[in-house]
């Protein structure tokens, strides 16, 4: 990766002043890394340049690109954060510091069967980095992706360690912030090193299948293009091929029978607006027989990471099964690049509470888990111990969307209970909760919520939290708020971190 190539790519997006700043950073990093080599024997500087290129391709802001260029300077050279701040500003220094902390946390991942670092200190660094600026994680994803692309130069044992970390941690984080293309790239590369024999087998199997599917799909595509044109609908239609790792996971669900997988290849229809998405869906169902059970509306109810699209699977007159994905250009951009595509920090950077804030900046629904991580990080900084199981649920567990009666959307972990919802809306709502209605029906305190539920909380001013409510919350957020209220009421005494963990273990055992 050459300096000229990065600058040429950047010139398509950024201002002349920003390009000058980028060139300054590249020259600075080149001088600092001079003499350092990668295991391939190439100059080390090609790695920071490659990271910067990825961030530019993802549409990140210039501070992120600069931090990508400089991200290894503090860890691998004598450069200080003060030096970076004086030359490139406080925001860039803050991002470089965050990436350095995540790198240090990653080095603590000694147990390959674990998702997260094993020590409180390393875990704290990772969470604090995540909670203070999500751009840190996006930069780290670029760093990890390029390292995976050059993994062949590492010893086999190291290859598998990095691949396992990538699959179990970084791919999941990429998915959580909606970066679908990056998640797929990380999964494909990591899987190819973890199980090369199976990877090559499935790659060969896919190639054989796609030869026939491509020809058949071409006919369907022409038919759909003609019909949409007749209806005066402007649309882009292209094919989407299932990734090898996605195929691997799907085959495990269908006992290895590839004939039960209908979406090896799908047609993607991209239109201008949401209304047209539904119109196209109707046209497809008038042309072909829809498989009702396989119609999914991720526009009305997005996936937990913000993904939106209409999915339908149809049967053509020739008995060919075809999957369609219908979305707008904006939805497609988000499906590919996630948070990087709708980056909200541009507007928020000037706000006083942007960095090191006490009050969380409002995040989109699909990023509410970051607010939960902020709270966990604060507890860790205060010296409280947090069980790894809690963090696995909050950060990596499956998510659901539930709604307030007014239509507000709340993103929660699967298995969340009504009190978890009440405390997520507001701690006072949780404090005075008296009863719950879900979808208009009285709902018990101990019954989990489901995706799409409409939850109504009935409060009474005289109602107070009870000690046994500790068995009726599952999220870190609700448990923290509830315990604070119970201590304030004198119902419970302050407990040590160890006691809290023992209580949580007992609670999990009780739930089965």
Nearest to 144 by CA among 116, 168, 123, 118: 168
Please tell me the distance from the alpha carbon of residue 59 to that of residue 61, in angstroms, as a whole number.
7
End-to-end CA distance of the chain: 53
* Torsion, Cα of 391, 135, 179, 252 (10° steps): -30
Three-state DSSP state, 231: coil
Pull the structure tokens for residue 443. 């709902």
- Contact status, residue 308 vs residue 314, Cβ threshold 8 Å: no
Please tell me the distance from the alpha carbon of residue 410 to that of residue 401, in angstroms, as a whole number.
6
Pull the structure tokens for residue 354. 């942007």
Tokens 């995040």, residue located:
363
Please tell me the distance from the alpha carbon of residue 131 to that of residue 377, in angstroms, as a whole number.
7
Nearest to 415 by CA among 453, 452, 448: 448
Please tell me the distance from the alpha carbon of residue 504 to that of residue 391, in angstroms, as a whole number.
12
Give 290-357 as a DSSP string: E-GGG-EETTTS--TT----EEEEEE-TT--EEEEEEEEHHHHHHHHHGGGTT-THHHHTTSTTSSS-
Tokens 């990023």, residue located:
367
Instruction: For the chain, give percent helix, strand, coil, nearest 5.
Output: 60, 10, 30
Tokens 């009780």, residue located:
510
Pull the structure tokens for residue 141. 């994803």
Nearest to 71 by CA among 42, 93, 87: 93
Phi, psi of 239 (to 5 degrees): -90, 150
Please tell me the distance from the alpha carbon of residue 223 to that of residue 287, in angstroms, as a whole number.
9
Burial class (CB in 10 A: 0-12, 13-18, 19+), 277: buried
Which residues are annotated as catalytic? 75-76
- Contact status, residue 452 vs residue 403, Cβ threshold 8 Å: yes
Tokens 């530019």, residue located:
56
- Contact status, residue 239 vs residue 267, Cβ threshold 8 Å: yes
Burial class (CB in 10 A: 0-12, 13-18, 19+), 335: buried
């Amino acid at each position: 990766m050459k300096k000229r190539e990065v600058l040429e790519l950047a010139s398509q997006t950024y201002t002349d002043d920003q390009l000058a700043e980028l060139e300054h950073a590249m020259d600075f990093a080149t001088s600092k890394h001079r003499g350092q080599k990668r295991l391939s024997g190439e100059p080390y500087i090609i790695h920071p340049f490659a990271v910067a290129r990825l961030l530019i391709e993802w549409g990140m802001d210039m501070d992120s690109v600069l931090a990508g260029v400089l991200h290894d300077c503090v860890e691998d050279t004598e450069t200080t954060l003060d030096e970076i701040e004086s030359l490139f500003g406080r925001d860039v220094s803050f991002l470089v510091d965050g990436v350095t902390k995540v790198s240090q946390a990653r080095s603590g991942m000694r147990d390959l069967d674990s998702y997260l670092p094993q020590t409180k200190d390393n875990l704290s660094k990772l969470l604090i980095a995540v909670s203070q600026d999500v751009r840190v994680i996006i930069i780290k994803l670029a760093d990890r992706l390029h390292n995976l692309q050059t993994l062949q130069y590492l010893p086999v044992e190291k290859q598998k360690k990095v691949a396992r970390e990538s699959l179990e941690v970084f791919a999941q984080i990429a998915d959580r912030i909606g970066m679908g293309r990056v998640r797929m790239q990380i999964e494909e590369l990591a899987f190819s090193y973890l199980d090369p024999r199976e990877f090559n087998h499935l790659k060969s199997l896919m190639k054989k299948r796609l030869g026939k599917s491509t020809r058949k799909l071409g006919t369907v595509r022409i038919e759909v293009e003609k019909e949409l044109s007749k209806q005066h609908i402007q649309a882009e239609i292209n094919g989407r091929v299932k990734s090898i790792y996605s195929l691997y996971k799907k085959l495990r669900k269908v006992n290895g029978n590839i004939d039960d997988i209908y979406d090896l290849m799908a047609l993607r229809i991209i239109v201008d607006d949401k209304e047209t998405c539904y119109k196209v869906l109707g046209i497809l169902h008038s042309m072909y027989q829809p498989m009702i059970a396989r119609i999914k509306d991720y526009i009305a109810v997005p996936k937990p990471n913000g993904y939106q699209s209409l999915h339908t699977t149809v049967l053509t007159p020739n008995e060919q099964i075809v999957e369609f994905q219908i979305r707008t250009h904006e939805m497609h951009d988000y499906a590919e690049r996630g948070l990087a595509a709708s980056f909200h920090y541009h507007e928020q950077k000037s706000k006083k509470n942007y960095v090191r804030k006490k009050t969380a900046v409002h995040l989109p629904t699909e990023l509410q888990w970051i607010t939960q991580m902020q709270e966990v990080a604060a507890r860790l900084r205060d010296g409280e111990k947090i069980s790894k199981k809690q963090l696995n649920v909050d950060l990596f567990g499956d998510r659901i969307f539930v709604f307030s009666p007014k239509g507000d959307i709340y993103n929660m972990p699967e298995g969340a209970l009504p009190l978890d919802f009440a405390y997520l809306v507001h701690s006072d709502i949780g404090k005075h909760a008296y009863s719950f209605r879900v979808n208009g029906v009285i709902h018990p305190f101990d019954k989990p919520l489901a995706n799409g539920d409409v939850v109504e909380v009935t409060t009474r001013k005289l109602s107070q939290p009870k000690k046994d409510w500790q068995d009726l919350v599952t999220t870190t957020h609700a448990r923290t708020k509830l315990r604070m209220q119970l201590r304030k009421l004198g119902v419970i005494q302050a407990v040590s971190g160890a006691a809290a963990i023992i209580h949580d273990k007992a609670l999990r055992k009780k739930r089965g």
